[in-house]
Structure formats: C-alpha cells, structure tokens
Amino acid sequence: MRASLRSVAIYLLGFASLFLIWHVAAWLLGSVLFPTPWRVIVKAVELAEDGTLWEQSSASLGRIVAGFAGGSLIGIPIGLAIGSFPIVRRLLEPYTEFLRFIPATAMITVAVIWFGIGEGSKIFLIIYTTVFIVIINTAAGVSAVPINKIRAARSLGAGPAQVFFYVALPATVPYILTGMRLAMANSFVTIIAAELVAANNGLGKMIWDSRLYMLVDQIFVALLVLGLLGFAADRLFRWGIYAFAGRFSPVT
C-alpha cells in the first residue's frame, strides 16, 4: 500500500510539474496563442457542459477501439501462425515487411477513395496501423519461448496442442500485449491525422475547425484530452504486461 501511494504521489507530482512549467511558459510568452492551463481548463469545462467535448471524444475513441480491436483480432492469429510454422513465416513475412513500411497516413487518400469520409475509412486506417505491429510482436513472442519449457512439456506427455495452449501461448501473451500497446499509441496518431483530412466529427476535426477560427484554447483542450486518453490506455496495457510477465515469463 505504501509503495502504491508513493507511486501515485510521484505521478501527481509529475503532472503538477508539467502544469507549472506550462503556466510559467505561458506567462513569459504572454501571448493569446499560448493559453495558460487555467484558461484551457475553463474552456474544457465549458465544452463538457454543452456536450461538445464528450461528443468529439467519444467519436474518436469509438473509431480507435473498433479499428484497434479489428486489427488485433486479425494480427494475433497471423502472428501466432508465423511464429509457429516456418512455411507460414516464409509465405507471409514478405508481405508483412513490405506493407508495414507504408505508413497509415500515406494510406489516408486510398482509404477515402475506397470507403469515403465515413466511419469505414477511419476504422480501416486504424486496422492497418495496428495489424502489422501486433503480427511482428506476436511472432517474436512465439519464437522466444524457451525451448527447455517445450521439451519439459513434451517429456511429461503433452501433445502439440497442449504445448501450444499451456506453454507457448501464455509465454507469448506479454509480447502480444506489448505489440498492442505500441499499436494503440500509433492508433491515436493515425485517427487524428485521418480526422484532420476527412471527418465530420472527432477530436481531429475539432482541432481543424478550431484552427480555422483561431480558437487556441479549444485546440489545447483537444490535445489535453488526447494525452489523458492515451495515458490511461497505456497504463492499462502496461499493467497487463507486468501481470502476465510476472506470472508466465521473465519478459518485462
């Protein structure tokens, strides 16, 4: 309990220091283009009260969750197959290595042409930015399973399916969660870029519209919400990685 309280206190101290530095910088610059934290908080309260902040945040977060879930559900089985079967690795690895170097932001135009400016194009881009990261980390996790564990399971009479489900898969979970953690961060980047180009709502659209009318306070509100949502998602994955790593694997 004491260690947990100390950890929370350190996090709060870090956030307080960030806001202090932000306030001092805004005071020194003295410009309407760099609002103080208090101005941003007041604006955030106003947007929350009239429902704008919840509407835009939920639109972006819904797209991220849908695309991220789709990309993970596609990437995990493919990564497990690549890591488990050499023939599958030789067959699919060239495609994975080729496509993962084409950034999702470069695919925005293609996505709009294929799916229009509706939800389909945004979800497709999140799936695209998620799937390859998950595939690579999952395949690396399967390949990193200690061979001694597999031999021990086989010596105890475990068949191929039992070795996979009781040895390889649990040891791979930290790698899978690490890939999903990295993919989630990329998802936030991709969705904002996509909403800046073509969207009817969302935090990216909110930033774009605020720029047109020089609503700098509103831009900072959107940035602050993005950071908080991303931080919360990252903490969740980090907790999952440590939980599974401590139980099944030495990987941290």
pLDDT score, position 85? 87
What does the pLDDT average to over 148-163? 79
Which run of H or E residues covers position 161?
helix 160-163
Instruction: Give the SS3 label for residue 115.
Output: helix
Least confident of 57-71, 97-111, 161-175, 210-224: 161-175
Mean pLDDT value of segment 145-173: 80
The CA distance from 241 to 54, in Å, is 30
- Over residues 236-247, the mean pLDDT reads 74
Which CATH number fits the domain that encloses residue 217?
Answer: 1.10.3720.10
Q: Are residues 147 and 23 in the same domain?
A: no
Q: With 0.75 as the threshold, say if the pTM is over it.
A: yes
- Structural domain count, the chain: 2
Q: 80 and 17 in one domain?
A: no
In a 3-state reduction of DSSP, which class is residue 82?
helix
User: Domain check: are 29 and 74 in the same one?
Assistant: no
**Same structural domain, 118 and 99:** yes
Q: What is the mean pLDDT of residues 18-30?
A: 83
- Asked whether residue 144 carries a pLDDT value surpassing 90, the answer given is no
The pLDDT of residue 194: 87
More confident residue, 196 or 11: 196
pLDDT confidence of residue 70: 94
Could you tell me if 30 and 56 lie in one domain?
Answer: no
Instruction: Please give the residue range of the domain that contains residue 5.
Output: 1-34
Query: What pLDDT is recorded for position 245?
Result: 63
Same domain, 13 and 43: no
Residue 251's pLDDT is 39
DSSP symbol at 31: -
Q: Looking at residues 205-226, what average pLDDT do you find? A: 90
Whether 163 and 234 map to the same domain: the answer is yes
pLDDT tens digits for range 67-76: 999 999 999 9
Tokens describing residue 59 = 């639109």
**Six-digit token string for 185:** 């961060």
Determine contact, residues 128/187, Cβ cutoff 8 Å: no
Percentage, residues of the chain above pLDDT 90: 31
**How confident is the model at residue 250, as a pLDDT?**
42
Q: Looking at the structure, do residues 103 and 68 belong to the same domain, yes or no?
A: yes
Angle at 188 between CA 33 and CA 214, to 5 degrees: 20
Average pLDDT over residues 156-162: 78
| Helix-helix angle 52-84:216-248, to 10 degrees | 30
In angstroms, the CA 235 to CA 14 distance is 15
For the stretch 39-65, pLDDT in tens is: 889 999 999 998 889 999 999 999 999
Mean predicted confidence (pLDDT) in 33-40: 86
List pLDDT tens digits, range 78-135.
Answer: 999 998 888 998 999 888 889 889 888 889 889 988 888 788 889 999 999 999 999 9
Q: Compute the distance between CA of residue 18 and CA of residue 242 in angstroms, rounded to an integer.
A: 27
> In the predicted model, is pLDDT for residue 171 greater than 50?
yes
- Among residues 194, 44, 167, the alpha carbon closest in space to that of 106 is found at 194
Average pLDDT over the chain, rounded to whole?
Answer: 85
The stretch 166-181 carries a mean pLDDT of 87
| Backbone torsion region of residue 145, taken as left when φ is above 0, otherwise alpha when ψ lies between -120 and 50, otherwise beta | beta
Q: In terms of domains, do 29 and 146 share one?
A: no
Asked if residue 249 has pLDDT above 70, the reply is no
User: In angstroms, what is the C-alpha Rg of the chain?
Assistant: 22
Q: What pLDDT sits at residue 246?
A: 58
CB 129 within 8 A of CB 108: no
